[in-house]
Structure 1
Amino acid sequence: MSPVGPVEETALTPAPDWWQSAVIYEVYPRSFADGDGDGVGDLAGLIARLPYIAALGVDGIWMTPFQPSPQVDQGYDVTDYCGVDPLFGTMEQFESLLAKAHARGLRILLDVVPNHCSSEHPLFQEALAAGPGSPERDMFHFVQGPVDMSDDGGAASASDAALGGSAAGASNSEVPPNNWQSVFGGRAWSRANPGSDTDTDWYLHLFSAGQPDWNWRNPAVGDYFDGVLRFWFDKGVDGLRIDVAHALFKADGLPDSPSTGGVVDGLRSNPKVSDQEDVHEVYRRWRTLAENYEPHRLLVGEVNLEPARAARYTRADEMQQAFAFAFVKLGWDPEAWAAVGNELEAARQLHGAAPTWALENHDIVRTVTRFGGGELGALRARAALVALLGLPGAAYLYQGQELGLPEVDVPVEARVDPMWARGVCRDGARVPLPWTDAAGLNHGFSLAEPAGEPWLPVPADWGTHAVELQEQDADSALNLTKAALELRRQLWKNEVFTADDGGKWRVEAGNLLICERSEDFLVAVAMGTEPVKLPAGTVLFSAAPLAEDGWLQPNNAAWVLRD
């Protein structure tokens, strides 16, 4: 049964720049709801659970990839950008989802993955078959290894040395074109045709070998993706989240990276593979395309760069939003929050777009665990969520964040994340949602019987976090989230919140973090170990009750309307 009752359907009405105040709920389809009982979440499950998302009070849904894929990287290796993988359902089901979401006032954002595709993509397969020097290979980065210049037939080079290998006696075909490393570990190059004496090309993959990078210096790639955007916009999709948005162009000539260490923090350790100036023309072109539709479509960038660099992607003629990655990964540290907040505000003043806030997503350790774990982590996660929803700009919540879910230590034998080769595992934030307390039907994750084993194992006590239990508990994380979202909506409606709000951050005595959103409104977070006095004003909302004297308890957050 559905844990929530019917929600009154309201038609989606056009609203210019709706995203400035929006709260978007990220759905990881594999783990949200399983409609057919095979243990994998799907479109049917999402359709069935739409009333739950609508009841939260969010403005839209961002869906991670459900397009056809061999699932090497859980859908971020796409074989058909304009299709639906049978694992998740059919195009007819997606069209039904879109219509039903719009009827409930929910907008739909999809992931697009323009940096790389699957090695099973038809165009990559054509490139492999076409051979070296062909137009087909120019759609990707196919490059011969370094020319053999050694007296003994070896191909000694800085690239090979950087990779820790010995070039003595190596042939040209055994040495990659440069020293770039993959985000998933190891070199970022694989042989197109291993063992061939005639095809000595390598292809670039900044992620797994099953994810070849597109060559954006070939105009045909841009034309191809224009078609992808138009396909989904024509269907009525409200916007796109752009995966690895800063990495489409690589440094001209593909030179060695000055850094030869392992990849740290995404692609940042190699300045040759991202944030090239050419990439901005792509988003100018896409913004024009998005604004050819009424209402205008939204472009949201995954731009994992320092705030001043990331903000350049949200200039007036580029994307409307880019995630504030410097904020996403913060721990429980008031000085760090204030420093990042002020950096983001400086970037907003320079380029105009407000930060796009998030503290969780499918790639990041959940806040309950990141902020200390157990009861302490749960308190801090609640406070952080309340703080997040009070900050100036749009906010994104990740499924299960509203339930206060902790990170799960997935057994080694059950892990499927390709980053596990690097000792990093994102599976712990991707465990299927608990909908019911009963263990049957995988705690309500599966909606049909017989229910197969979930694609990631569910902890034995997972039902203690269940939606149906939290619906009945006035003090639950779920009901706190609903209340905060409703008040946020009212504050926007009454113009206490505006799109022109900035954010002035500071840390006061007792590790009290303050973000002044305007002269009239501030967010306060108690990050110390003792209660702290709040600035003068009316407390509109708090993550937990205040102390009897009105002071803010440790690990609590409040919204204050100034006197």
Structure 2
Amino acid sequence: MDIKDSWSRRAVVYQIYPRSFRDSDGDGVGDLQGIIDKLDYLNDGTEDSLGVETIWLSPVYRSPMRDFGYDISDYCDIDPVFGDLLTFDKLVRETKKRDIHIMMDFVPNHTSDQHPWFVESRKSKKSKRRDWYVWADPKDDGSPPNNWLSVFGGSAWTLDEKTNQYYLHHFLKEQPDLNWRNPAVKEAMFDVLRFWIKRGVSGFRTDAIYHLVEDREMRDDPPNQNYVAGRDDGYEEFVHEFTQGREELFHILEEMCYVLAEKGDKFMVTEAYLDIPGMDKVYHACKNGRIAPLNFNLMMIEWGAAQYREFIDRFEATLAPNEWPNYVIGNHDRKRVVSRVGSEHARLLAILQLTLRGMPFIYYGEEIGMRDGEIPEEKRKDIAGVNRDGARTPMQWDNSPNSGFCEDGVSPWLPLSEDWHRKNVEIEESDPHSILSLYTKLIWHRKKSPALLSGSYRSIESGNGYVFAYLRECKEETLLVILNFDDHDQRVHIDFPKSKVVASTHQNKPGMSIDTTDYALHPYEGLVLSTRI
């Protein structure tokens, strides 16, 4: 089918961190049945539900859980903590009833050190799967082969004393890197994609893609001349010239495109924190438009109307017709939006994200304004040492004990965020001015708006440097979006037909007619105006 008719062109993606969404069996850990139990919240076909049509599941594969599922010991099974394959099949059936697509987290760079492939690989240098992973001899003094670093700190090499060779791991030592230059590895991983597609999955979010291939000659990464010691765990001490984004990666992505096209309408996004030229390389690797790089830049650029406009304009200008944009403002590896920028800013970002072209990604709980939890040291779980626990606390459903995540008397795997009794689904569903009401309004309006689904994007002058304004246009309608990035009232002077408000940051102006030739926006106010009555 033509990629322009794909479900991915209409999708609002809701990321579920399964162990934190809903516990159905009383062990304090979220699971697949818990997700099934809450599908009607996500989309029951009415405008009382959130309205999302795609869910992305963070890893649910069988795993020792050293990195919460990103260390996989069996790619074709479900970890018992989440359920089993029969429960997964039930999830697929229930999502299809609600016209919800499933995207799986795909982790191709590394396995668990307990995966049968690695257990076999490390037995001896003559093992039939030795070259399924990246092995290298020590230097003459016994030290690692080169200066490559792990993202989580220290050397990216660990010595296997039995065979006296080092194996590569860009992350934890329990996550050995696969050797993607081996055709057998490549085909085995493509078969993983086929396995889940056959089970009903519509797409994938592919983890750590830029680490997939390293320099053949294993040359040292050059020093980073701009590195400031003490700012991180040392990973940025070197420029990762020989360990990230190697040319062979893009040929592998091209092959993945064809695997996705084998069984109809499938789509993939890839994880790497890239600037526009970097994203452009990923887009260009896939000529059929079935792979797109995740765009994290809105999480990192300086707050301000001019900065956001400049980035979005540049990004849009690079995209070919079959290259579909996306915008991420929160995920399981970064502080939550409200903790990062504040509640009023979060409302403005919701309007921005859900009115831009492309595929918006919503991290569970962002729609109710969840904050990072304060996790006491003795209760921390993130052994990688970068303390991402605060952004992974249990979903806040209601005012019952444990906020409805798990039953009373059960200890959730992480403590709830302190504001759970003020910020939860039950409270916000009954408040027409809540951030949940805003998200719901925007998502449902997006479904019905030709301009938001398929219209063009064009930024315009607002007459005020603190205000970002743009048009979404198609034959049927034109939408004007105006966003005040400042903490003071700001006037705009925009020549636009008198129009009605279809959404506003605080949901207090529905249907109001606005004259934008001279209009004062409140601090951090955003409005969506439509010419279609």
Is TM-score (shorter-chain normalized) higher than 0.5?
yes
Give the Å deviation of 1:265: 8.7
**Number of the residue aligned with 1:437:** 399
1:270 alignment partner, SS class: coil
In 2: Cα distance, 1:82 partner to 1:71 partner: 16
**In 1, are the aligned partners of 2:447 and 2:453 still within 8 Å (CA)?**
no
Match of 1:24 among 13, 30, 50: 13
Give the Å deviation of 1:339: 2.7
**Number of the residue aligned with 1:144:** 137
Give me the TM-score of the superposition, normalised by structure 1.
0.84
In 1: Cα distance, 2:132 partner to 2:522 partner: 57
Give the Å deviation of 1:281: 1.9
Give the Å deviation of 1:200: 1.6
Q: Does residue 1:132 correspond to 2:103, yes or no?
A: no
In 2: Cα distance, 1:302 partner to 1:248 partner: 11
For 1:210, the aligned partner's letter is E
Q: Which has the higher strand share?
A: 2
**In 2, are the aligned partners of 1:341 and 1:505 still within 8 Å (CA)?**
no
Match of 2:358 among 389, 393, 413: 393
**Number of the residue aligned with 1:230:** 194
The aligned length equals 503
Q: Does residue 1:531 correspond to 2:489, yes or no?
A: yes
Q: Does residue 1:188 correspond to 2:156, yes or no?
A: yes
In 1: Cα distance, 2:387 partner to 2:83 partner: 27
Return closer, same or farther for 1:328/1:192 CA change in 2, 3 Å cut-off: same
1:456 alignment partner, SS class: coil
Q: Does residue 1:543 correspond to 2:505, yes or no?
A: yes
**Number of the residue aligned with 2:270:** 301
In 2: Cα distance, 1:505 partner to 1:287 partner: 36
Give the Å deviation of 1:435: 0.9
In 1: Cα distance, 2:109 partner to 2:238 partner: 15
Give the Å deviation of 1:455: 0.8
**Number of the residue aligned with 1:559:** 528
Q: Deviations over 1:517-536 (max 9, x none)?
A: 44833322101132223433
In 2: Cα distance, 1:508 partner to 1:483 partner: 28
In 1: Cα distance, 2:452 partner to 2:417 partner: 40
In 2: Cα distance, 1:379 partner to 1:434 partner: 20
For 1:184, the aligned partner's letter is F
**Number of the residue aligned with 2:218:** 254
Return closer, same or farther for 1:527/1:486 CA change in 2, 3 Å cut-off: same
**Number of the residue aligned with 2:46:** none
Higher deviation after alignment, 325-334 or 84-93 = 325-334
**Number of the residue aligned with 2:303:** 332
**In 1, are the aligned partners of 2:57 and 2:102 still within 8 Å (CA)?**
yes
For 1:82, the aligned partner's letter is C
Give the Å deviation of 1:463: 1.8
Identity of matched residues, %: 32
In 2: Cα distance, 1:461 partner to 1:187 partner: 39
Give me the TM-score of the superposition, normalised by structure 2.
0.89
In 1: Cα distance, 2:310 partner to 2:418 partner: 40
2:62 alignment partner, SS class: coil
Please identify runs of 4+ aligned residues in structure 1 that moved more than 4 A.
260-268, 505-508, 546-550
Give the Å deviation of 1:306: 1.2
Q: Deviations over 1:502-523 (max 9, x none)?
A: 4437775251122344483332
**In 1, are the aligned partners of 2:24 and 2:33 still within 8 Å (CA)?**
yes
2:252 alignment partner, SS class: helix
**In 2, are the aligned partners of 1:313 and 1:319 still within 8 Å (CA)?**
no
**Number of the residue aligned with 1:159:** none
Give the Å deviation of 1:314: 2.2
Q: How does 1:37-52 map to 2 (within 5 A)?
A: 37-52=26-41
In 2: Cα distance, 1:506 partner to 1:213 partner: 49
**In 1, are the aligned partners of 2:109 and 2:208 still within 8 Å (CA)?**
yes
Give the Å deviation of 1:144: 0.7
Give the Å deviation of 1:266: 8.6
In 1: Cα distance, 2:490 partner to 2:375 partner: 38
1:321 alignment partner, SS class: strand
Root-mean-square deviation (Å): 2.4
In 2: Cα distance, 1:503 partner to 1:416 partner: 45
Q: How does 1:373-522 map to 2 (within 5 A)?
A: 377-420=342-385, 424-438=386-400, 440=401, 442-446=402-406, 449=407, 451-491=409-449, 495-499=450-454, 501-504=456-459, 509-518=464-473, 520-522=478-480
1:418 alignment partner, SS class: coil
**In 2, are the aligned partners of 1:391 and 1:523 still within 8 Å (CA)?**
no
Match of 2:79 among 80, 85, 110: 85
Unpaired runs of 5+ residues, structure 1, are 1-13, 149-154, 156-171, 372-376
